[in-house]
């Protein structure tokens, strides 16, 4: 079933304690930047869209209602990357189904093929952040929910990350990302969702 | 060799040792004399009451009273298991999950032993049922409490890892697998260690008691081995039930981690 004029994501009547979100749609290839002070609800919105917290609303992906599909199926298509990345095994490769297949993508973000053997406990914050992004990207989700995807990265990694995200957009995916960088918001997105203190949000052109 | 019965004079003589302890405390100003005497008095009163109660219960051989007595033991064990957890489930679940698991595990294992191995007449004879339930329950309680404690504290500590797996589309069973495994390992460790050390480091209380009451040591050992197997079975069954039920409770049908269903950390 495809409705909504082909919108990739449609969000109607989203209700979650702490945030007040207007109805919105994201087209294929569109990025939405989320701006606002810390604690205003940026991460609550991403968690609600990934169905990580209790929330209500008619959320659809290519017209498929979220509540009609199992949560794991929804999350493989709507990929939430938390600010604090989580790891459950000792080395990097154990967190991927096939590290060999992932290595080329990781290499573009400055992570060598032998990073698969690295111990999680010895990774830097930036390495964890890039690996968590790679882990989400290889699942080929329709929609990416990212938290400041380039904060704390060196200029080369930042540029590579933005290039990869732009490719995903060109390939028909959508991205919702929070950022403190108005320039980055403008580079990737045309529309911005701005949170005020207290959790109320509205959408307007970024510039 | 028959049982050498003690008269009250024998006990009074042994109580002199307690007086020595109290005297020592006063002489060295340890401040323990009062506490020692109160504790000793409590022990005498509590054990005497329990002795009278058990004597009454054993003379009745009533299935109803035996079941009620057993139920009361389980309910007290439930309170004790709950008190040993740092982060317990909020509301009725905090008491209910552990107590229900212990009730099921201890009941199944005790009835199994009474009806197939020990076979007293009648099978619910409280002289056998109550002491065996007590030994199984005491160890199952430790396993259940350790398992639940480890599950909830690990889930809180590993929140980022669990939610990373959920966000990648792993079902909640997979996302919690390493936490559930850690909880069950911790729950079963004491009984595994106890089996390995029994007979070398310590002579178990029940076996010692049977030997003192005149039972052939080889027969006492057979009983002790049976009891250890029953304890291992009860602990495994009880801990598995409690940990899986609690793991289901700290997640929901939409595969979310629900740490909001844990009560606030205590003091």
Taking only the tens place, the pLDDT of each residue in A194-207 is 999 889 999 999 97
C-alpha to C-alpha distance for B117 and B112, rounded to whole angstroms: 8
| Averaged pLDDT for residues B74-96 | 94
List of chain A residues whose C-beta atoms are within 8 Å of the C-beta of residue B257: 52
Q: Where are the domains of chain B?
A: 1-60, 63-261
Q: Average per-residue pLDDT in chain B?
A: 93
Show me where the domains of chain A are located: 4-205
Residue B211 scores a pLDDT above 70: yes
pLDDT in tens, A153-186: 999 999 999 999 999 999 999 999 999 999 999 9
Q: Does domain A4-205 have CATH number 3.40.1280.10?
A: no
Mutate to test the interface with B, among A17, A18, A67, A75 (most CBs of B within 10 A): A75
Inter-chain contact B169–A72, Cβ cutoff 8 Å?
yes
User: Over 50: is that where the pLDDT of A4 sits?
Assistant: no
pLDDT score recorded for residue A5: 57
Of all helices (H) and strands (E), which one includes residue B179? helix B177-197
B120/B97 Cα distance (integer angstroms): 32
Q: Which pLDDT belongs to residue B32? A: 86
Determine whether the interchain pair B161/A88 forms a contact, defined as Cβ–Cβ distance below 8 Å: yes
Minimum CA–CA partner of A53 in chain B: B256
User: Burial, B120: exposed, middle or buried (Cβ in 10 Å; 0-12, 13-18, 19+)?
Assistant: middle
State the average pLDDT over residues B128-148.
Answer: 95
CA distance A51 to chain B (A): 8
Under 8 Å CB-to-CB from A194, ≥6 apart: which residues?
Answer: A34, A35, A36, A201, A202, A203, A204
Which residues, 6 or more positions from B2, have their beta carbon under 8 angstroms from its beta carbon?
A: B214
- Chain B CB contacts of A139 below 8 Å: 168-169
> How confident is the model at residue A139, as a pLDDT?
95
Q: Which two tokens stand for residue B71?
A: 């139920």
Nearest CA-CA distance, residue B193 and chain A, Å: 27
Q: What percent of chain A has pLDDT over 90?
A: 90
DSSP per position, chain A: ---GGG-SEEEEEEEETTEE---EEE-TT-EEEEE--TTSSHHHHHHHHTT-S--EEEEEETTEEGGGS-HHHHHHHEEE--SS----SSBSGGGSS-HHHHHHHHHHTT--GGGGGSBGGG--HHHHHHHHHHHHHTT--SEEEEESTTTT--HHHHHHHHHHHHHHHHTT-EEEEE-S-HHHHHHH-SEEEEEPTTSBEEEEE--
pLDDT at B1 over 70: no
Of the pLDDT bands very low, low, confident and very high (cuts 50, 70, 90), residue B150 is very high
- Average pLDDT estimate for A83-89: 94
Q: Provide, rounded to the nearest whole percent, the portion of chain B with pLDDT above 70.
A: 99
- Helix or strand or coil: residue B198? strand
A81 CA: distance to closest CA in chain B (Å): 7
Q: How far apart are alpha carbons A132 and A11 in whole angstroms? A: 26
CA distance B12 to B2: 23
**Rg of chain A taking only CA atoms, in angstroms:** 17
Nearest CA in chain A to B176: A88
pLDDT of residue B71: 97
The residue with greater pLDDT, B6 or B156, is: B156
B166 interfacial to chain A (CB closer than 8 Å) = yes
Q: Any CB–CB contact under 8 A between A71 and chain B?
A: yes
Indicate the residue of A51, A73, A135 with minimum beta-carbon distance to B168.
Answer: A135
What would the pLDDT profile of A49-70 be if each residue is shown by its tens digit? 999 999 999 999 999 999 999 9
Mean pLDDT of A6-25: 94
Size of interface A-B (CB pairs under 8 A): 62
Question: Which of the four pLDDT bands, split at 50, 70 and 90, describes residue A3?
Answer: very low
**pLDDT: which is higher, B267 or B69:** B69
Residue B266 has pLDDT above 70, yes or no: no
pLDDT, chain A, mean? 93
Q: Confidence band (pLDDT; 50, 70, 90) for B267?
A: low
């Amino acid at each position: 079933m495809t409705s909504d004029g082909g919108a990739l994501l449609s969000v109607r009547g989203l209700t979650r304690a702490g945030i007040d979100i207007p109805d919105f749609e994201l087209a294929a290839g569109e990025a939405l930047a989320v701006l606002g002070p810390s604690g205003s609800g940026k991460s609550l919105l991403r968690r609600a869209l990934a169905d990580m917290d209790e929330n209500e609303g008619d959320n659809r992906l290519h017209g498929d209602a979220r509540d009609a599909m199992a949560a794991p199926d929804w999350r493989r298509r709507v990929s939430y990357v938390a600010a604090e990345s989580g790891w459950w095994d000792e080395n990097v490769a154990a967190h991927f189904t096939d590290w060999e297949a992932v290595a080329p993508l990781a290499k573009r973000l400055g992570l060598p093929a032998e990073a698969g053997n690295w111990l999680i406990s010895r990774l830097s914050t930036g390495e964890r952040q890039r690996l968590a992004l790679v882990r989400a990207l290889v699942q080929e989700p329709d929609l990416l929910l990212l938290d400041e995807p380039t904060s704390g990265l060196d200029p080369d990694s930042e540029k590579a990350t933005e290039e990869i995200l732009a490719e995903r957009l060109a390939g028909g995916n959508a991205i919702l990302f929070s950022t403190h960088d108005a320039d980055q918001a403008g580079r990737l997105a045309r529309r911005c969702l701005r949170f005020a203190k207290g959790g109320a949000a509205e959408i307007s052109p970024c510039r | 060799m028959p049982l050498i019965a003690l008269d009250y004079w024998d006990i009074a003589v042994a109580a002199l040792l307690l007086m020595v302890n109290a005297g020592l405390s006063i002489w060295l100003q340890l401040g323990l004399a009062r506490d020692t005497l109160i504790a000793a008095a409590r022990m005498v009163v509590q054990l005497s009451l329990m002795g009278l109660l058990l004597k009454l219960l054993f003379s009745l051989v009533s299935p109803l009273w035996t079941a009620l007595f057993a139920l009361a033991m389980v309910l007290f064990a439930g309170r004790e298991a709950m008190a040993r957890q740092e982060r317990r489930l909020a509301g009725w679940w905090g008491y209910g999950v552990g107590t229900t698991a212990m009730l099921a595990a201890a009941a199944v294992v005790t009835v199994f032993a009474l009806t197939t191995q020990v076979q007293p007449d009648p099978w619910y004879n409280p002289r056998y049922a109550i002491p065996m339930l007590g030994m199984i329950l005491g160890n199952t309680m430790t396993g259940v409490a350790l398992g639940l404690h480890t599950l909830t504290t690990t889930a809180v500590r590993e929140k980022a890892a669990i939610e990373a797996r959920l966000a990648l589309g792993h079902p909640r069973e997979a996302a919690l697998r390493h936490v559930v495994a850690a909880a069950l390992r911790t729950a079963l460790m004491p009984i595994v260690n106890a089996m390995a050390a029994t007979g070398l480091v310590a002579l178990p209380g029940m076996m010692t008691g049977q030997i003192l009451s005149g039972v052939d040591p080889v027969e006492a050992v057979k009983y002790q081995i049976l009891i250890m197997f029953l304890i291992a079975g009860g602990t495994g069954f009880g801990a598995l039930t409690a940990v899986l039920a609690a793991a289901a409770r700290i997640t929901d049908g939409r595969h979310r981690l629900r740490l909001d269903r844990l009560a606030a950390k205590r003091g």
